[in-house]
Structure 1
């Protein structure tokens, strides 16, 4: 829908205006989160999903 598209466009513009160093730090952080999520037990993932649903 249109509001979501506007949010995506704003996010892309914000990312484009960020300094490269910040983006590299963000990339490292996201990779760490991804690694943690790969090894996270299903119980934890279920718990986090239940929090999201509330």
Structure 2
């Protein structure tokens, strides 16, 4: 349990450093772009995955 607490502490410190440094806006923009790319790829994989292969 202590290892999880230390892991979340390190993640929180990294997130705080990025948030206070002004990089958060750029990271949010990239996250939006990647989200839509992966949604499109997921839909494409569902469409082509449902085809029956003889």
Instruction: Report the TM-score when normalising by structure 1.
Output: 0.59
Count of residue pairs the alignment pairs up: 42
Instruction: Report the TM-score when normalising by structure 2.
Output: 0.59
Which of these two proteins has the greater Rg computed from alpha carbons? Answer: 2
After the TM superposition, which parts of structure 1 deviate over 4 Å for at least 4 consecutive aligned residues? none
Gaps in structure 2 of 5+ consecutive residues: 47-54
Greater share of residues in helix: 1
- Higher relative CO (Cα under 8 Å, sequence separation at least 6) belongs to 1
Gaps in structure 1 of 5+ consecutive residues: 44-54
